[in-house]
Amino acid sequence: MASSSFISGNFGDIKGFLYAWLGKQNKLPSYEVSQQGTKQRIRFKCELTVISYPYTAIGNSTNKKDAQTNAAIDFCQYLVREGKMSQNELEPYLPSKNSSVLTTQTLGTLPAGLVPPHMLQHNTTTNDAIPPPALLPYQPGPPSHYLEQIHSGRKMLEEQEESDTNAAIHGNWTIENAKGRLHQYLQKNNLPQEYKYTASGPDNLRTFFAELSIYIRERNQTIYARENGSTKQIASKSCSLALVRQLYHLNIIEGYTGEKKKKQIEKTTPFRVNVSNEIVEELDRVIQLFNIQPIVINEQQPTGSLLNPQILERFPSSERRTILSIIQWVPPIPNWNPWISSNIDEGPLATATMESISEDLNRAEQFKTNNEIKFRFQERQNLPVFTYRQQILEQIKNHNVILIRGATGCGKTTQIPQYIIDDAIEHNQGAHCNVVVTQPRRISAISIAERVAWERCEDLGNSCGYSVRFESILPRPYGSLLFCTVGVLLRKLESGLRGISHVIVDEIHERDINTDFLLVLLRDMLNAYPQLKVILMSATIDVTLFRQYFFNCSIIEIEGRTFDVREYFLEDMIQ
């Protein structure tokens, strides 16, 4: 399984490159890593900030190193967008523009995953005359010292799992003595001792869970414990410890009065470090330069502080950190899935450039040439909004916010998002276009997404998807549109609007507190990010209030379809 996307080749040097680039300006990057997810699927999120830069770069992955690398790439791309760094400086640390690793099938079925073998077969030419490749020659396994190192590391892990520093407040019951005491209690009360074991995770990262429940007759209650460990033995010991401590706090068993065996891991074993003479001389020069008096270590005292008591006469001046009070927005960028707000760790999209993704999206769209697509496209052309297609696209291109007012049934809800996506894909800019459309009700978000997917002869989850509370079918990471409720978008804004190019707020005339709050946030974001595109859509009512609130934005009027209506009365029906 592939690791994070940019950690191959020269991509691992991106942190050193950014450190050197900021060092020329006497600035240092600050990485803050936090753990997310569950024990079975741990992910790490890294936030990179630099003083005097109003931007927080984000990167996440399955390990800390890759998360920091993704955050460094995100910050470098921000510097390129702001014109502070040239694209040529960053090119050696990004994937090659000529590497197109996507296929039509990967864009259609696996937005950010591995390509299945049955989809690769149609691109390969087979020849029965060519014999199968020879088997690989035998290669010896790893050396013995490598296996010993793995064994010692696993032993150290088990020792760390068995260490306990809070035993004193739990009757001195530890993981070594608790299981035996629990067995005594169970035998004395004729209770069964049957641990239930379960395992999770891959073979190389297997975690075992042990659970056991005990019925206490004198209290007429049942206590339960479920603990985990790297082996079944450690899991059962941890489970026994949790049950014994519950019995102790219920005053059913006594505290441990035997000799407390101190773990060797609690002692800090001293070890020697070999330092070259050049480093020692350099340290001496630094100490003399800053007039620092080294701490004299007294070997007779068990503990001592290594902190220097010297007090500075004045503190060095520090720059004030610039913090934005609005929500952060980032356009679509490589190696980022905007719908799950995460980096892409695996699959072809992990290392693909925006240019190659756009070309493959264009190529995939050109392959759709069956009669069903042509028939549905002709039906779409009969809608009144089709005559305004070019005018709408020009207004969106020239303005960051526009207001579209159209009668019910003109097709603005289903067609305008498709116009934006199709125009971007046609001009080889599909990777730079992700559209989110809000609806006031969840049933309308789902039904409209299904209708748009039907019109495009696709299944939900390809270029179109939806997200409502408790239910989501997310589209591909690039060149896609998502229909969601206003509440879902507001929750997404809590972590920033990253990787989305257009925001369409439909039915703004149906005002509620969530819609009004969303419009307030979008108005503030437009002041800071002029590249963000916001499209407001409403029915044929007075929209003067919305137009004035959004900087007197331009309005596009779309006429609806009219049908002949003939009135019938009861007398006509009787005749």
Q: What is the mean pLDDT of residues 451-472?
A: 94
Q: What is the mean pLDDT of residues 451-475?
A: 94
Contacts of residues 125-130 at CB distance under 8 Å and 24 or more positions apart, as own/partner, are: none
Q: What is the pLDDT of residue 164?
A: 63
Q: Give the pLDDT band (50/70/90) at residue 286.
A: confident
Q: Give the pLDDT band (50/70/90) at residue 87.
A: confident
Q: What is the pLDDT of residue 330?
A: 93
For the ranges 65-69, 168-172, 483-487, the lowest mean pLDDT is seen at 168-172
Q: What is the mean pLDDT of residues 248-270?
A: 69
Q: In angstroms, rounded to a whole number, what is the distance separating the alpha carbons of residues 18 and 10?
A: 13
Distances (CA, A) of 105 to 40, 94, 99, 113, 119: 30, 25, 17, 11, 7
Structure token digits, residue 303 = 């503990």
Question: Residue 124: is its pLDDT beyond 50?
Answer: no
Q: Return the number of other C-beta atoms located less than 10 Å from residue 560's C-beta.
A: 16
Q: What is the mean pLDDT of residues 75-95?
A: 86
Q: What is the pLDDT of residue 299?
A: 66
Q: What is the mean pLDDT of residues 241-269?
A: 74
Q: What is the pLDDT of residue 515?
A: 93
Q: What is the pLDDT of residue 459?
A: 93
The pLDDT tens digits for 309-359 are 555 555 455 444 444 557 899 999 999 999 999 999 888 888 899 999 999
Distances (CA, A) of 452 to 59, 105, 272, 415, 488: 32, 20, 68, 8, 20
The chain-wide mean pLDDT, for the chain, equals: 81
- Which of 464, 463, 506, 461 is CA-nearest to residue 486? 506
The distance from CA 13 to its chain's CA centroid, rounded to whole angstroms, is: 22
Q: What is the pLDDT of residue 154?
A: 57
8 A C-beta contact, residue 479 and residue 431: yes
Instruction: Give me the half-sphere count of Cα atoms (radius 13 Å) on the Cβ side of residue 450.
Output: 7
Q: Give the pLDDT band (50/70/90) at residue 143.
A: low
Q: Give the pLDDT band (50/70/90) at residue 573.
A: confident
pTM: 0.61
The pLDDT tens digits for 182-191 are 988 888 888 8
Task: Give the domains, in start order, of the chain with CATH numbers.
Answer: 9-94 (3.30.160.20), 153-256 (3.30.160.20), 368-558 (3.40.50.300)
